[in-house]
């Protein structure tokens, strides 16, 4: 028997954690009659946390004795944030991931540990040391054997997912008794033509496919359209001399935006971006130590960039470290920047985390800037239900308010959304990914999406005659 179980991301887009379990059949060779892997072990965010106490959201509440390895698709916190809790629950296996992910994972978890786990520096170092010792980086396109015993065997292979640097979908070759199956977990899939990243190619085979559906009900604009829309939004937003605040995720979106903004500055160098200001003089501020750190890591991982980005580097361009870019590091500098920008009428673009405004330095900017009409908030990523980001997006345009740190803030700043700047594939991209698999999967499971997105995506797949399309949780699995 080869079973897929879902421990998260079935009633929303966060907390990804799936299990693939193989029975040893009649010839058990180990203490347990089955063995398996977890694919991701992420944190829940926003209202997807549920109403339970936070400790129960975090602790790993399913059996793990038979879990031989954790396979990580990419290092976003909703896919890796519960790893410390998995270790605390007694998990002793390796953490298998792509090579860039192996470099980024300890960094992102260090930050997560500091915020949510403990302030004890020595304990953090111990946990990080443990995580580093468990990491098994595997190159893209190369099979890696997780276990092979008489009754069952399992190998995994990473392929580029085009979502963030190091992101992968996982192909699993599972053999249990007489059964042999290729199970594919999509992780998060990127849109084609994403800046910096190679786009994903469809799997050569997938008997069963577990696929995300963040944008299962929407299509994105093309790369060129969204690039010029970004330009138009920035020009309109900066015209009245305010700040454009972009809540951005530290890993992925920030680097993509910097890449696109560098491209706009290069192309429109001497054109006016605002009254008395040309693109070449536009100041871009990254105010997030984590985003700055990951921008540095992205710069070092150039061998994993796509051909277009590599070409720019050969031309002498620096897509992630251009001269108009200022990085704010210390907390004191951050507070000064918030105060200065809130008072000055100098047009400026600020990227600050967190992406859904649920914490991080963006909150101070929002408190200082939401009340003024000359400021603008530009959302470039998905806003989960229950996050301040979703509230600003929903109520901002109607002149509403948002609650930040327990206080109400009226929203007079203009609110924009550049939907095309998603690190996730749109519906047609997801369909293309599935249709590219030569033989139709006998089962497709839709996870990692809002209910409406999952239902719309399921409907679309049924229309084009996929035989078995399931939404776990809704259908008793």
Binding site for Zn ion (CB under 5 A): 76, 188
What is the b/e burial string over 389-400, where b = at least 16 CB atoms within 10 angstroms of the residue's CB?
bbbbbeebeeee
Residue of 295, 275, 334 whose CA lies nearest to 164:
295
Q: Which is nearer to Zn ion, 220 or 414 (CB)?
A: 220
Q: Which is nearer to Zn ion, 189 or 273 (CB)?
A: 189
Residue sitting closest to Zn ion (CB): 76
Q: Which is nearer to Zn ion, 48 or 188 (CB)?
A: 188
CA 77 to each of CA 170, 299, 316: distance values in angstroms, whole numbers, following the listed order: 18, 21, 34
Q: Which is nearer to Zn ion, 187 or 396 (CB)?
A: 187
Give CA–CA dist 247/229, Å, rounded.
17
- Least CB distance from residue 25 to Zn ion, whole Å? 36
- Least CB distance from residue 76 to Zn ion, whole Å? 3
- Pair 340, 372: CB distance under 8 Å: no
- Least CB distance from residue 9 to Zn ion, whole Å? 11
- Least CB distance from residue 190 to Zn ion, whole Å? 9
Strands 348-352 and 243-247: parallel
Q: What angle do CA 260, 264, 270 make, to 5 degrees?
A: 160
CA 323 to each of CA 269, 281, 318: distance values in angstroms, whole numbers, following the listed order: 13, 9, 9
CA 325 to each of CA 231, 252, 287, 351, 371: distance values in angstroms, whole numbers, following the listed order: 17, 17, 11, 11, 26
Q: Which is nearer to Zn ion, 23 or 188 (CB)?
A: 188
- Least CB distance from residue 351 to Zn ion, whole Å? 18
Give CA–CA dist 290/27, Å, rounded.
49
- Least CB distance from residue 79 to Zn ion, whole Å? 6
Give CA–CA dist 359/393, Å, rounded.
16
Q: Which is nearer to Zn ion, 243 or 250 (CB)?
A: 250
């Amino acid at each position: 028997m080869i079973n897929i179980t879902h421990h998260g991301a079935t009633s929303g887009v966060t907390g990804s954690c799936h299990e693939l379990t193989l029975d040893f059949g009649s010839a058990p060779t180990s203490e347990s009659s089955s063995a398996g892997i977890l694919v991701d072990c992420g944190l829940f965010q926003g209202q997807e946390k549920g109403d339970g106490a936070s400790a129960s959201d975090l602790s790993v509440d399913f059996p793990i004795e038979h879990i031989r390895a954790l396979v990580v698709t990419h290092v976003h916190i909703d896919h890796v944030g519960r790893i410390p809790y998995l270790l605390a629950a007694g998990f002793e296996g390796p953490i298998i991931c792509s090579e860039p992910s192996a470099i980024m994972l300890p960094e992102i978890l260090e930050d997560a540990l500091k915020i949510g786990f403990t302030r004890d520096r020595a304990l953090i170092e111990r946990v990080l040391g443990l995580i580093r010792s468990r990491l098994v980086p595997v190159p893209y396109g190369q099979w890696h054997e997780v276990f092979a015993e008489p009754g069952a065997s399992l190998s995994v292979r990473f392929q580029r997912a085009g979502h963030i640097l190091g992101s992968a979908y996982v192909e699993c070759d599972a053999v249990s008794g007489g059964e042999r199956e290729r199970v594919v977990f999509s992780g998060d899939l990127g849109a084609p033509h994403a800046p910096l990243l190679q786009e994903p190619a469809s799997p050569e085979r997938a008997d069963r496919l577990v696929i995300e559906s963040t944008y299962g009900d929407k299509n994105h604009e093309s790369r060129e359209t969204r690039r010029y829309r970004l330009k138009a939004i920035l020009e309109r937003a900066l015209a009245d001399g305010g700040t454009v605040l972009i809540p951005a995720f530290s890993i992925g979106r920030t680097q993509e935006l910097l890449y696109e903004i560098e491209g706009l500055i290069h192309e429109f160098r001497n054109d006016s971006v605002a009254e008395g200001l040309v693109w070449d003089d536009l100041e871009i501020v990254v105010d997030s130590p984590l985003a700055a750190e990951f921008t540095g890591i992205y710069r070092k991982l150039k061998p994993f960039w796509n051909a277009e980005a590599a070409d720019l580097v050969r031309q002498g361009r620096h897509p992630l470290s251009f001269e108009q870019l200022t990085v704010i590091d210390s907390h004191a500098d951050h507070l000064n920047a918030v105060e200065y920008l809130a008072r000055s009428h100098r047009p400026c673009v600020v990227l600050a985390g967190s992406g859904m405004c649920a914490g991080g330095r963006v909150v101070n900017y929002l408190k200082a800037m939401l009340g003024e009409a000359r400021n603008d908030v530009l959302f470039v990523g998905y806003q989960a239900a229950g996050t301040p980001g979703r509230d600003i997006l929903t109520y901002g345009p109607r002149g509403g308010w948002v609650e930040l740190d327990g206080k109400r803030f009226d929203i007079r700043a203009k609110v924009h959304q550049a939907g095309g700047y998603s690190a996730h594939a749109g519906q047609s991209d997801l369909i293309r990914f599935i249709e590219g698999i030569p033989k139709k999967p006998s089962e497709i499971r839709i996870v990692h999406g809002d209910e409406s997105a999952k239902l719309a995506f399921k409907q679309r797949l049924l229309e084009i005659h996929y035989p078995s399309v399931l939404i776990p949780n809704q259908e008793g699995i």
